[in-house]
C-alpha cells in the first residue's frame, strides 16, 4: 500500500505508517505529472500541504486513490465535496499546528511594535554609519501588555492566539459567525491554569475597539477585511493575517498603511501566492513571512503523526 506525501511528511509520520505496512514515497511530483505518477505507482493515498492541489480533474484521473490528506487546517486546495462524492476519504490535521501559527502571529506583533521588520533591513545598510540615527528612528516602540487584541475567527487557532494574548496581559475580544463564547484555558508550566470565558461580538464593534487584529478564518469568496473595514478601525491599528490569502483586500491594505490608518501589518499569506505583489514585499510598514505559520519542527511532527493515525484507522486492512 503506497502513499505519496507530495509536499513532504515528518519522519515521525513515516515511521508510524511504515510500522503499519504502508510504503511512503516523498518524491515531489510536478502538478502536471501527478496523475500519471499516482496511477503508474498504484498510489492509494495522496498527502498534500499548500503547494499541491487535488481538484476534480486529478480525482477523476486517479480511480485507484482512496484517500486525500491535507497536512494542515484549510482544505481550499482540495475539492473536498467532490472527492467525498467519489468515495474518497478526505482528512486534515486541524489540531496540530495551532500553537505554531499562534506563535507566528506574536512574532509579527512583537517585531512590529518594536520596528524589527524595519531595523532588520536598515541595520545591515546603515548600522555602522548611522547607528544613532537608527536608534532615534526606532525608539518609540510600544508594549503589547494592556492593549486590546481582536481575533476574527475563534476556532482552534484563534483560541490559541487568545491564550498567548491573555498570558501577555492583553484584553482579548473575538468575533465569529458560528461561536458565541469559548472557555479559553491558559496553562502554566507548573500545571496550574486559568480559564477565561470570552464571548464573541459583532465584527464591526471588534474593529472599533481593537488595537491589534488577527485573522483566523478559512478562504472566502469575498474579502473579510476591505476598505470599509479599515475605515472602522482605530487610527494606528495593526492587522495580522496568518490565515489565508484573499481574505484581505491588499490594495486597501496598502492605502490604509500609506494614510496612517494602520501603523503596520504582518502578512504570512498573500492573495497571489506564490508571487505576492511587489508593493507588499517592498512596503516598509509590513512584516513579511512566506506562509510558514505551521512550519515548526514540533508542528510537523504532530501533523505527520495525526495524518498517520487517521490513515491507519481508515485504510489498514
Which percentage of the chain shows pLDDT scores above 90? 94
Please give the mean pLDDT across all residues of the chain: 96
Check whether residue 53 and residue 126 sit in a common domain.
no
- Provide the 10 A C-beta neighbour count for residue 258: 12
What pLDDT is attached to residue 317? 61
232-286 residue pLDDT tens: 999 999 999 999 999 999 999 999 999 999 999 999 999 999 999 999 999 999 9
What pLDDT is attached to residue 94? 85
Check whether residue 110 and residue 85 sit in a common domain.
no
What integer is the mean pLDDT of 139-155?
A: 97
Q: What is the CATH number of the domain that holds 223?
A: 3.40.50.720
Asked if 104 and 98 count as a contact pair (C-beta separation under 8 A), the reply is no
End-to-end CA distance of the chain: 10
Residue 261, domain extent: 98-288
What pLDDT is attached to residue 51? 86
Asked if 217 and 224 count as a contact pair (C-beta separation under 8 A), the reply is yes
What pLDDT is attached to residue 296? 94
Asked if 250 and 223 count as a contact pair (C-beta separation under 8 A), the reply is no
Residues with catalytic annotation? 244, 273, 291
Check whether residue 238 and residue 159 sit in a common domain.
yes
Picking from 259, 258, 278, 261, the residue whose alpha carbon sits closest to that of residue 270 is: 278
Check whether residue 82 and residue 112 sit in a common domain.
no
- Reduced to 3 states (helix: H, G, I; strand: E, B; else coil), residue 193 is strand
Picking from 67, 16, 84, the residue whose alpha carbon sits closest to that of residue 306 is: 16
Beta pairing, strands 23-25 & 2-5: parallel
What pLDDT is attached to residue 307? 95
- Reduced to 3 states (helix: H, G, I; strand: E, B; else coil), residue 13 is helix
64-81 residue pLDDT tens: 999 999 998 888 899 999
Number of domains in the chain: 2
Edge-first strand listing for the sheet containing 23-25: 23-25, 2-5, 43-48, 67-70, 89-92
Check whether residue 62 and residue 108 sit in a common domain.
no
Asked if 11 and 32 count as a contact pair (C-beta separation under 8 A), the reply is no
Check whether residue 194 and residue 231 sit in a common domain.
yes
256-270 residue pLDDT tens: 999 999 999 999 999
7-37 residue pLDDT tens: 999 999 999 999 999 999 999 999 999 999 9
29-73 residue pLDDT tens: 999 999 999 999 999 999 998 889 999 999 999 999 999 999 988
pTM value is 0.89
Check whether residue 106 and residue 147 sit in a common domain.
yes
What pLDDT is attached to residue 73? 82
166-204 residue pLDDT tens: 999 999 999 999 999 999 999 999 999 999 999 999 999
Check whether residue 209 and residue 170 sit in a common domain.
yes
Amino acid at each position: 500500500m503506497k502513499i505519496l506525501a507530495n509536499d513532504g511528511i515528518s519522519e515521525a509520520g513515516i515511521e508510524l505508517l511504515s510500522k503499519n505496512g504502508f510504503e511512503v514515497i516523498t518524491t515531489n511530483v510536478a502538478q502536471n505529472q501527478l496523475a500519471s505518477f499516482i496511477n503508474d505507482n498504484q498510489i492509494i493515498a495522496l498527502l498534500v500541504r499548500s503547494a499541491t492541489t487535488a481538484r476534480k480533474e486529478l480525482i477523476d484521473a486517479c480511480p485507484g486513490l482512496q484517500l486525500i490528506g491535507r497536512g494542515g487546517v484549510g482544505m481550499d486546495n482540495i475539492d473536498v465535496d467532490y472527492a467525498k462524492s467519489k468515495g474518497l476519504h478526505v482528512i486534515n490535521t486541524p489540531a496540530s499546528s495551532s500553537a505554531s501559527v499562534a506563535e507566528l502571529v506574536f512574532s509579527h506583533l512583537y517585531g512590529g511594535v518594536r520596528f524589527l521588520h524595519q531595523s532588520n533591513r536598515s541595520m545591515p545598510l546603515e548600522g555602522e554609519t548611522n547607528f544613532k540615527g537608527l536608534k532615534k528612528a526606532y525608539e518609540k516602540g510600544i508594549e503589547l501588555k494592556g492593549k486590546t487584541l481582536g481575533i476574527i475567527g475563534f476556532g482552534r487557532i484563534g483560541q490559541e492566539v487568545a491564550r498567548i494574548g491573555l498570558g501577555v496581559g492583553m484584553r482579548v475580544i473575538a468575533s465569529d459567525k458560528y461561536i458565541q463564547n469559548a472557555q479559553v484555558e491558559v496553562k502554566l508550566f507548573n500545571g496550574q491554569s486559568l480559564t477565561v470565558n470570552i464571548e464573541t461580538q459583532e465584527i464591526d464593534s471588534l474593529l472599533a475597539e481593537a488595537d491589534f487584529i488577527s485573522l483566523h478564518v478559512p478562504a472566502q469568496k469575498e474579502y473579510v477585511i476591505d476598505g470599509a473595514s479599515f475605515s472602522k478601525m482605530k487610527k494606528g491599528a495593526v492587522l495580522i493575517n496568518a490565515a489565508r490569502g484573499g481574505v484581505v483586500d491588499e490594495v486597501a491594505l496598502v492605502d490604509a498603511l500609506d494614510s496612517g490608518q494602520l501603523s503596520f501589518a504582518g502578512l504570512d499569506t498573500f492573495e497571489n501566492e506564490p508571487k505576492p505583489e511587489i508593493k507588499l514585499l517592498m512596503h516598509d510598514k509590513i512584516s513579511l513571512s512566506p506562509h510558514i505559520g505551521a512550519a515548526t519542527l514540533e508542528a510537523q511532527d504532530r501533523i505527520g503523526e495525526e495524518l498517520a493515525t487517521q490513515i491507519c484507522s481508515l485504510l489498514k486492512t
